[in-house]
Amino acid sequence: MNITLLLHFVRQDLIDRHAASALGALWTLLLPLANILIFTLVFSRIMGARLETLGMEYLGQYSYSVYLVCGLLAWNAFAATLTRITQVFQEKAGLITKVNISLFTLPLYVVVSETIVYLISMGFFVVFLLFIDFQWTLAWLWLPLIFAVQQVLAYGLGLLCAILSVFLRDIRELVTVVTQLWFWLTPIVYVLSILPERWTEIFTWNPIYHTTTAYRDTLILGQMPDLAALGWVLGLGLALLAGALWMGRQLERDIRDFL
Amino acid sequence: MIEVRALTKTFKLYPQPSDRLKEFFLRRPFHSRHQALKDISFRVDSGQTLGIIGRNGAGKSTLLKILNGVLLPDSGTVTTNGRVTGLLELGTGFDPAMSGLHNIRTNGLLLGMTEAEIAGSTAAIIQFAELGAFIGEPLRTYSSGMVMRLAFAIAIHAQPQTFLVDEALSVGDGHFQQKCMRRIRDFRNGGGAIIFVSHDLNAVKMICDRVLVLGDGGIVCDGDPDQAVNHYNQMLAGDDSGELSAPDGGYGNFHAAITAARVTGLDSRGSLLSSGEACLVDVTVEAREDLPELTLGMVIRDRFGQDIFGTNSHVLGAALGLRANQRRTLRFRFPMALAPGKYTVTLALHDGIDHTRHCYHWWDNACQFEVSGIRGPIFTGVCNLRPELETLP
């Protein structure tokens, strides 16, 4: 599948989807913007005091918003990539059964699409941070790496679920439910310190906990992320990807027969 | 060029989709099998057109899908020397909300065209499709004919090495179809290969250099078009000899009945005849009581149900009288001067000159036959009047 076709799918996803509406492609910007506005302005009144202990005192009433948005935007990208890739074969079944398309590179357009949405949202976030005199650090340069690690995991896991969901429709619903639970099992909306000590160890098994912590360490605290933990997440992502590709090659004939 | 070697494809039929996964993990079979293709091998060289014919279920669509890359074979290889484009599922990826111009790009990319190829062909595609200013309008404003013309125009400009064509050639009006045939011919002259799958035996005889007959997943015949089509018809004849079992079997008082009827060509020996060959209609009649003045009539109808020609044994001067339980077979014999097409034969058994007095058995569409190909000078219209031409002094 050539790059042009991939980018065409991305374009269809972001722009053509809104072709019939008056505001058109503007919606691709408005939806993330609305998200950011809600989380930064509305929630900045809540939990403001709690987060002064995390080195964010200078942010005052915006400390929670910054904490939340750092984790939430990345989570949205991860969750959307995962759930959408899970459905991609069914969604594009009309194309797969008619023209020759590679099953394994097709889901890449979802990754690209969600990355663009993430970048747009982060763009608005940066504008917001400029308004509140945020202390910038070079640690922000770690962002692409952390994001890449997270998306590799999303792609590997998503592809695996996509293959399974061709045969077991339930996988789709299952992924939606698991993603919901996963969201709450990651300290995105809350701070880890509100939970009892003995629970915190379980969280280290959650790969998204590590990426979320990495985002906060680099973007807010200006520190280096835990590279060992990120390495573990990357390894997990690559292992899942390799497993998905292997399984996919074995089952490709059946997938194509069945779609 | 396409070369296919030992292509085999079996479909596994599972009672439930989840059984596929169970089989993968538990390594035990959970399915029944349907063999769609058995050991298919053939080769189409550049500039050649290969026809593939066969009954429904013979494996033609499966073969096309494998050549197109949409299905994977169990074993065997497909070797091509370039892009293979299907003139099959026209308009894949069309988005009704977007303009025709945008959809040219979408469909072209899906067909495997590069950015440069699409940019280079867009003007030609727009002109070929004859859509004019509509090309900028969203596809949902198009009629279905316009959509098909656009889809066809894109596909025909895809510049592959090999085209896979099925009944899609029947898109558009006569003028458009002629344009399509011209482009197909140019494509062939340019060295492209074509695989043509159709039920239209006339078209197959006209266009193809070689024809494969598929039966039950295997190649039954591989030869020149006439040979292959004849073989195909013998296959069909072996099944039902041109007999249609009418669901009602006709009506009448059944003091006499038509028990069997068959249409065959003298040379083709099946229910597919060439225009110009001798046609035989054999009818077996049985009387239930003594009937001294029986008449057997027949009417040939075209596919619109129009009466084309009718006659009966009375007007032909043949006396027919049967005693109770006596059986006789009669044969109508005439040159098949009809134009190519599908026809049915309606038979009637009655008393006297027509069926208005006593109708023993009237059987609509007792048999069917098809005329394909023309012997001698070609003609148009419904039937051949066999003219002679002379120049007057």
**Is B85 domain-assigned?**
yes
* High-pLDDT (> 70) share of chain A, %: 93
pLDDT value for B246: 41
Identify the residue whose tokens are 């008449």: B295
Identify the residue whose tokens are 């598929």: B214
Contact with chain B for residue A102, Cβ under 8 A: no
Residue B163 near residue B194 (C-beta atoms within 8 A): yes
Same domain for B218 and B273, yes or no, is no
So what's the ipTM on this one? 0.83
**Is B389 domain-assigned?**
no
Residue closest to B280 by CA, chosen among B343, B316, B331 = B331
Average per-residue pLDDT for chain A = 88
The shortest C-alpha distance from B148 to chain A (Å) reads 16
Residue closest to A72 by CA, chosen among A225, A219, A240 = A219
Residue A137: pLDDT band with limits 50, 70, 90: confident
Same domain for B211 and B75, yes or no, is yes
Same domain for B213 and B272, yes or no, is no
Contacts B20 to A, Cβ<8 Å: 167, 251, 254, 258
pLDDT value for B20: 73
Same domain for B292 and B332, yes or no, is yes
**Is A236 domain-assigned?**
yes
Number of structural domains found in chain A: 1
Q: Do residue A95 and residue B93 have CB atoms under 8 angstroms apart?
A: yes
Same domain for B224 and B281, yes or no, is no
Average per-residue pLDDT for chain B = 86
Q: Which two tokens stand for residue B331?
A: 């044969």
Same domain for B197 and B61, yes or no, is yes
Q: At what angle do helices B18-26 and A227-258 cross, to 10 degrees?
A: 120
**Is B81 domain-assigned?**
yes
Q: Do residue A98 and residue B89 have CB atoms under 8 angstroms apart?
A: yes
> Among B8, B16, B24, which would you mutate to test the A interface (most chain A Cβ atoms within 10 Å of its Cβ)?
B24
What is the rounded CA–CA span in Å between residue B275 and residue B338? Answer: 6
The shortest C-alpha distance from B311 to chain A (Å) reads 51
> Among B78, B106, B162, which would you mutate to test the A interface (most chain A Cβ atoms within 10 Å of its Cβ)?
B106
> Among A3, A5, A161, which would you mutate to test the B interface (most chain B Cβ atoms within 10 Å of its Cβ)?
A5
pLDDT value for B373: 85
- Give yes or no for residue A55 having a pLDDT over 90: no
**Which residue in chain B is spatially nearest to A10 when comparing CA positions?**
B106
Residue A10 near residue A105 (C-beta atoms within 8 A): no
Distance from the first to the final alpha carbon of chain B: 57
The shortest C-alpha distance from B294 to chain A (Å) reads 59
Q: Do residue B68 and residue A100 have CB atoms under 8 angstroms apart?
A: yes
Contact with chain B for residue A167, Cβ under 8 A: yes
**Is A95 domain-assigned?**
yes
> Among B7, B66, B72, which would you mutate to test the A interface (most chain A Cβ atoms within 10 Å of its Cβ)?
B72
Q: Do residue B20 and residue A167 have CB atoms under 8 angstroms apart?
A: yes
- Give yes or no for residue A93 having a pLDDT over 80: yes
Same domain for B199 and B281, yes or no, is no
Contact with chain B for residue A12, Cβ under 8 A: yes
Residue B313 near residue B297 (C-beta atoms within 8 A): yes
Contacts B109 to A, Cβ<8 Å: 2, 4-5, 8
Contacts A106 to B, Cβ<8 Å: none
- Give yes or no for residue B305 having a pLDDT over 80: no
Q: Do residue B115 and residue A254 have CB atoms under 8 angstroms apart?
A: no
Same domain for B53 and B200, yes or no, is yes
DSSP string, A93-162: HHHHTTS---TTTTTHHHHHHHHHHHHHHHHHHHHHHHHTT----GGGGGHHHHHHHHHHHHHHHHHHHH
**Is B250 domain-assigned?**
no
Contacts B68 to A, Cβ<8 Å: 99-100
Q: What is the side-by-side order of every strand in the sheet holding B32-44?
A: B32-44, B2-13, B75-80
Residue closest to A164 by CA, chosen among A250, A76, A78, A77 = A250
CATH classification of the domain holding B68:
3.40.50.300
Average pLDDT value for residue range A181-206: 86
Q: Do residue A99 and residue B92 have CB atoms under 8 angstroms apart?
A: yes
The shortest C-alpha distance from B90 to chain A (Å) reads 9
Same domain for B12 and B161, yes or no, is yes
Q: Do residue A256 and residue B18 have CB atoms under 8 angstroms apart?
A: no
pLDDT tens per residue across span B261-293: 999 888 888 888 888 889 999 999 999 888 888
pLDDT value for B242: 39
pLDDT value for B102: 93
Range(s) of the domain holding residue A211: 25-258
**Is A8 domain-assigned?**
no
pLDDT value for A65: 82
Q: Select the more confidently predicted residue: B361 or A215.
A: A215
pLDDT value for B355: 67
CATH classification of the domain holding B274:
2.70.50.60
pLDDT value for B241: 38
**Is A2 domain-assigned?**
no
To the question of pTM greater than 0.80 for the whole model, the response is no
Same domain for B48 and B96, yes or no, is yes
pLDDT value for A47: 56
Contact with chain B for residue A258, Cβ under 8 A: yes
pLDDT value for B244: 39
- Give yes or no for residue A49 having a pLDDT over 60: no
Distances (CA, A) of A61 to A34, A40, A42, B33: 20, 10, 11, 67
pLDDT tens per residue across span B236-267: 655 443 343 344 577 777 888 888 899 988 88
pLDDT tens per residue across span B51-102: 999 988 888 989 999 999 999 999 999 999 888 998 888 888 999 989 999 9
**Is B331 domain-assigned?**
yes
Q: Select the more confidently predicted residue: A194 or B258.
A: B258
Contacts A3 to B, Cβ<8 Å: none
Same domain for B178 and B210, yes or no, is yes
How many C-alpha atoms does B294 have within 13 Å on its Cβ side?
A: 28
State the sign of the Cα–Cα–Cα–Cα dihedral A50, A56, A61, A66.
Answer: negative
The three-state secondary structure class of A13 is: helix
Same domain for B282 and B216, yes or no, is no
Number of structural domains found in chain B: 2
**Which residue in chain B is spatially nearest to A168 when comparing CA positions?**
B18
pLDDT value for A53: 58
Average pLDDT value for residue range B136-150: 91
**Is B358 domain-assigned?**
yes
pLDDT value for B361: 85
Contacts B69 to A, Cβ<8 Å: 99-100
pLDDT tens per residue across span B156-166: 899 899 999 88
**Is B308 domain-assigned?**
yes
**Which residue in chain A is spatially nearest to B91 when comparing CA positions?**
A98
- Give yes or no for residue A54 having a pLDDT over 70: no
- Give yes or no for residue A219 having a pLDDT over 70: yes
Q: Which of B72, B89, B109 sits opposite A4 (nearest CB)?
A: B109
**Is B120 domain-assigned?**
yes
Q: Do residue B106 and residue A12 have CB atoms under 8 angstroms apart?
A: yes
Range(s) of the domain holding residue B207: 2-233
pLDDT value for B168: 67
